[in-house]
């Protein structure tokens, strides 16, 4: 009975030890993936900041880039600390498992050794034959033979359990060594990240001092830029309303059967256009970025200015900073609705996807034409570079009819 209990106990210990390891490993893997993404973002911002310094970027833009880098690096440090804490917990758990497994294995081996010795003394080949021949009848002899077979099988199973437990113990030791190495690497990474963070905060404070000395000048610059951006947003909205009116008039004149009736502010949709719009809706949160790499420097809606928080700014879309000359691509299949250049602004392309419109502002070298059918990730042109700031940015907007939507809810999260 004691032997059976030991077998059950050892099996349960091994099973229980393996269950929490899966969730811990999944969490560590998730944190490492997030940390790698943040590391790539920091590297991307560094490249952009180096480019911008060479172009004598304004102090406001430089601080904005530095602020983004500080925020990302703070998240990097936070995630690294979480990984270190999880690894510390894993290391402690593994030390306890190793100690527990060694104790169980020792007891199990001692018991097994006693059983083998006892079996050797009392169950020689001759005594087994005598054990069978001394049976009262054939049925008893058969039962005794089955007992001998089961006993031998039981011994073999115990030997296999000891072997498995030994392998498990060896693997735990290997894991422990690797975990300690990973922890040392993370601690070194974190130390380096914190040192850089401290330097960046000092740079930030120095730049903010120079801004505060000329705050009135910079406030006027920000308000002027906001007026220009607002004028461009209104031009985009006028084009959308004009396209709706034109499309609805054309559908009515042609007497086409529509799956969805239009109005002053909504598109009349054919079945094909409605299916395309439904497909666009189904891909919410999974649309590709309009550029392959970059970072969002201006979010959707009303928000405090990143450098002077007491000033409110607004945006009908998101602004992505990237490298000059990078390809701008459509986020979904559709038709080129308009290519336009507003007064005092840069060129932009609008793509219609049923009753959804995506707009890509600040383009150059445009390679598509109005009325052209485009597929997902098809090239529209390249990112334009501001002659004033030297920054390569693209503004991306999404509308459903005349309603502006937050693009960050539609593109996949990097």
Whether 269 and 404 map to the same domain: the answer is yes
Whether 52 and 187 map to the same domain: the answer is yes
Of 181, 213, 245, the domain-final residue: 213
Whether 237 and 133 map to the same domain: the answer is no
pTM for the model stands at 0.59
Of 213, 245, 270, the domain-final residue: 213
Whether 175 and 270 map to the same domain: the answer is no
Answer whether residue 146 is part of any domain: yes
Whether 258 and 325 map to the same domain: the answer is yes
Please tell me the distance from the alpha carbon of residue 67 to that of residue 64, in angstroms, as a whole number.
Answer: 5
Of 167, 183, 213, the domain-final residue: 213
Name the nearest CA neighbour of 332 among 382, 271, 276, 370: 276
- How many angstroms from the chain centroid is the CA of residue 40? 12
- Tell me the residue range of the domain where 55 lies: 2-213
Answer whether residue 245 is part of any domain: yes
Q: Are 411 and 283 in contact (CB under 8 A)?
A: no
Whether 98 and 72 map to the same domain: the answer is yes
Torsion sign, CA atoms 323, 327, 330, 331: negative
In the block, which residue shows the tokens 């396209």? 243
The pLDDT value recorded for residue 19 is 46
Please tell me the distance from the alpha carbon of residue 260 to that of residue 86, in angstroms, as a whole number.
Answer: 54
The pLDDT value recorded for residue 10 is 47
Answer whether residue 414 is part of any domain: no
Whether 70 and 183 map to the same domain: the answer is yes
Whether 176 and 221 map to the same domain: the answer is no
Please tell me the distance from the alpha carbon of residue 374 to that of residue 334, in angstroms, as a whole number.
Answer: 5
Whether 107 and 198 map to the same domain: the answer is yes
Name the nearest CA neighbour of 406 among 250, 252, 285: 285
- Residue 285, Ramachandran bin (φ over 0: left; ψ between -120 and 50: alpha; else beta): left
Answer whether residue 395 is part of any domain: yes
What does each of the 414 residues of the chain score in pLDDT, given as a tens digit? 444 444 444 454 444 555 455 466 777 677 777 777 767 766 766 665 555 554 445 677 677 777 777 878 888 888 888 888 888 888 888 787 777 777 776 766 776 676 666 666 555 554 555 555 666 676 676 676 676 667 666 666 666 666 666 777 677 777 778 878 888 888 888 888 888 888 888 887 787 777 777 777 777 777 877 888 888 888 888 889 998 988 888 877 766 667 677 788 899 888 899 999 999 999 999 999 999 988 888 899 888 877 777 778 888 999 998 888 899 999 999 999 999 988 777 899 999 999 999 999 999 999 999 999 999 999 999 998 875 566 788 999 999 999 999 999 999 986
Whether 296 and 337 map to the same domain: the answer is yes
Whether 141 and 233 map to the same domain: the answer is no
163-185: string of b/e by CB count within 10 Å (b at 16+)? eebeebeeebeebbeebeebbee
Answer whether residue 289 is part of any domain: yes
Q: Are 258 and 272 in contact (CB under 8 A)?
A: no
Identify the CATH number of the domain in which residue 287 sits.
Answer: 2.70.70.10
Answer whether residue 143 is part of any domain: yes
Whether 374 and 285 map to the same domain: the answer is yes
Burial label, 64 (beta-carbon count in 10 A; 0-12, 13-18, 19+): buried
Please tell me the distance from the alpha carbon of residue 372 to that of residue 375, in angstroms, as a whole number.
Answer: 10
The pLDDT value recorded for residue 139 is 67
Answer whether residue 22 is part of any domain: yes
Number of structural domains found in the chain: 2
Answer whether residue 153 is part of any domain: yes
């Amino acid at each position: 009975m004691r032997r059976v209990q030991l077998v059950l106990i050892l099996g349960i210990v091994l099973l229980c030890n393996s269950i929490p390891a899966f969730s811990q490993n999944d969490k560590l893997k998730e944190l490492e993936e997030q940390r790698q993404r943040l590391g790539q973002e920091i590297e991307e911002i560094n490249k952009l900041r180096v480019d911008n310094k060479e172009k004598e970027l304004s102090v406001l833009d430089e601080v904005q880039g530095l602020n983004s880098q500080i925020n990302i690096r703070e998240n990097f440090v936070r995630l690294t600390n979480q990984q270190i804490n999880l690894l510390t917990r894993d290391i402690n758990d593994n030390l306890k498992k190793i100690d527990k497994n060694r104790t169980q294995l020792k007891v199990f081996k001692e018991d097994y050794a006693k059983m083998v010795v006892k079996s050797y003394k009392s169950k020689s080949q001759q005594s087994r034959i005598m054990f069978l021949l001394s049976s009262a009848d054939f049925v008893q002899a058969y039962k005794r033979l089955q007992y001998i077979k089961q006993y031998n099988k039981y011994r073999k199973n115990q030997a296999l359990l000891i072997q498995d437990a030994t392998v498990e113990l060896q693997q735990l030791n290997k894991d422990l060594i690797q975990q300690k190495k990973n922890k040392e690497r993370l601690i070194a990474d974190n130390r380096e990240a914190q040192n850089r963070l401290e330097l960046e905060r000092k740079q930030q404070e120095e730049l903010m001092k120079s801004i505060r000395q000329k705050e009135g000048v910079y406030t006027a610059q920000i308000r002027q830029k906001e007026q220009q951006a607002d004028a461009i947003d209104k031009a985009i909205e006028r084009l959308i309303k004009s396209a709706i009116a034109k499309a609805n008039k054309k559908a009515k004149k042609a007497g086409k059967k529509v799956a969805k009736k239009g109005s002053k502010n909504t598109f009349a949709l054919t079945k094909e256009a409605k299916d395309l719009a439904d497909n666009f809706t189904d891909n919410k949160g999974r649309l590709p970025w309009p550029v392959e790499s970059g970072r969002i420097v201006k979010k959707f809606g009303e928000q405090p200015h990143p450098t002077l928080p007491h000033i409110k700014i607004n945006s009908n879309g998101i602004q992505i900073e990237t490298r000059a000359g990078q390809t701008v691509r459509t986020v979904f299949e559709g038709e080129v609705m308009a290519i336009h250049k507003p007064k005092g602004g840069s060129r932009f392309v609008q793509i219609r996807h049923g009753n959804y419109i995506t707009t890509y502002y600040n383009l150059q070298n445009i390679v598509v034409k109005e009325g052209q059918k485009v597929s997902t990730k098809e090239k529209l042109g390249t990112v334009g570079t501001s002659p004033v700031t030297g920054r390569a940015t693209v503004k991306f907007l999404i509308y459903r009819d005349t309603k502006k939507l937050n693009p960050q809810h539609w593109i996949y999260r990097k």
